[in-house]
């Protein structure tokens, strides 16, 4: 989960209850005691992500558990509902994590998500420092496909970074939709100041209205980092980094192909109106010469062999997760039954419609 660049929870635009899509069905029967919670595999502002095994069938899931009290304190309930709504739309896309179902107790919210244990792109990039162009192209193409799909649903992602890109059997899986903005038509703009400092687009830093081209800036920043080991305008001094993003010309180290350099310059154009993707969106990205080796139909259907296989031994193989998370003890309260917990004030009505159960279990597999 990301926050605004000053470290505070990102402010979200107010939203009337009638504008929140509450989804097709409730899930009144699911409860924490359906699972054995095995390991902490991630953390965020309002809770944790845990590896969980469902007792009824032995299936493994990543369960994101959020504290209602913290969400309400920061007035982020519409933010969480937006994340849920976006997750509901992801199930048919191969490079977006799927929501199996969601439920709540008086104190907590539970997202039951696809379990992906090939590790974060960030983890692999830290270990290898940088990727060769074919590998970077493969990941960038799959991420661009996912972003293009979200844009087709009038959703801006707004927090693309290597930490939010997971690997399954070698393909990418985009996760964490907490900063997504719904209902942004092609010509619309929004103005919420949010994201992760290293990847903020200039128009966001200037606090100007911005559109979906903000995601293509982030794609350029991630590609640059894959090829060179650091984000394009990085500085340990955040103020200096912002100054670099706003004013420093893009510097591309040598050793890259002309196509890669041209793509980076197009995606990292400081003027959002001139940025690659600003006019025809994903179509401009697909048609760039850097992606000429990619058959996009084969890519979408996972017919292309990934350049790297994480080689996990099974669901219990946690070698690609940070030990900082996996060595943390799992709180016993995570698996409490609803009737053993006191109701938080206002929590029972603040998340109406959060619980969701699909009509079938038809999900895309690796």
Please tell me what DSSP assigns to residue 173.
E
Longest pairwise C-alpha distance within the chain = 62
Residue 81: both structure tokens together:
């509902």
User: Is 168 a residue of the active site?
Assistant: no
Catalytic pick among 34, 114, 159, 176: 159
Task: Specify the 3-state DSSP secondary structure of 217.
Answer: helix
Nearest to 321 by CA among 99, 51, 114, 2: 51
Residue numbers in the known binding site are 73
Q: Please give the annotated binding residues for ATP, written as ranges.
A: 73
- 166, β-bridge pairs: 120, 173
According to DSSP H, which parts of 154-232 are helical?
202-205, 213-228
Cα–Cα distance between 324 and 43 in angstroms, integer? Answer: 10
Q: What is the DSSP string of 120-163?
A: BHHHHHHHHS---HHHHHHHHHHHHHHHHHHHHTT-B-----GG
Q: Give me the long-range contacts of 199-204 (CB less than 8 A, separation at least 24).
A: 199/159, 199/160, 199/161, 199/231, 200/5, 200/242, 200/245, 201/245, 201/272, 202/245, 202/246, 202/270, 202/272, 203/272
Catalytic residue ranges: 159
């Amino acid at each position: 989960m990301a926050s605004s660049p000053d470290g505070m929870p990102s402010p979200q635009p107010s939203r009337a209850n009638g504008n929140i899509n509450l989804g097709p069905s409730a899930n009144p029967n699911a409860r924490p005691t359906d699972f054995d919670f095995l390991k902490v595999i991630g953390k965020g502002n309002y809770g944790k992500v845990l590896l969980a095994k469902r007792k009824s069938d032995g299936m493994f899931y990543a369960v994101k558990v959020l504290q209602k009290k913290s969400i309400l304190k920061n007035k982020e309930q519409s933010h969480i509902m937006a994340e849920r709504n976006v997750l509901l739309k992801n199930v048919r896309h191969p490079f977006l994590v799927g929501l199996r179902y969601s439920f709540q107790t008086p104190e907590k919210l539970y997202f039951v998500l696809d379990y992906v244990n090939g590790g974060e792109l960030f983890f692999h990039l830290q270990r290898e420092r940088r990727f060769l162009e074919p590998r970077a192209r493969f990941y960038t193409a799959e991420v661009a496909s996912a972003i293009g799909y979200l844009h087709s649903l009038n959703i801006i992602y707004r927090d693309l970074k290597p930490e939010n890109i997971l690997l399954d059997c070698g393909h990418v899986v985009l996760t964490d939709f907490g900063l997504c903005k719904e209902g942004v038509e092609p010509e619309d703009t929004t103005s919420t100041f949010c994201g992760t400092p290293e990847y903020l687009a200039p128009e966001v830093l200037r606090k100007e209205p911005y559109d979906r081209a903000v995601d293509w800036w982030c794609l350029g920043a991630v590609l640059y980092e894959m090829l060179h080991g650091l984000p394009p305008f990085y500085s340990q001094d955040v103020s200096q980094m912002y100054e670099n993003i706003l004013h420093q010309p893009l510097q591309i180290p040598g050793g890259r192909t002309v196509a890669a350099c041209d793509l980076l310059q197009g995606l990292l154009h400081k003027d959002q109106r001139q940025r690659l993707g600003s006019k025809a969106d994903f179509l401009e990205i697909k048609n760039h010469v850097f992606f000429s080796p990619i058959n996009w139909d084969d890519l979408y259907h996972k017919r292309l062999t990934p350049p790297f296989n994480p080689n996990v031994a099974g669901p219990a193989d946690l070698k690609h997760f940070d030990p900082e998370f996996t060595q943390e003890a799992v709180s016993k309260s995570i698996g409490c039954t609803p009737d053993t917990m006191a109701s938080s004030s206002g929590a029972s009505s603040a998340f109406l419609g959060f619980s969701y159960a699909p009509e079938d279990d038809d999900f895309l597999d690796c």
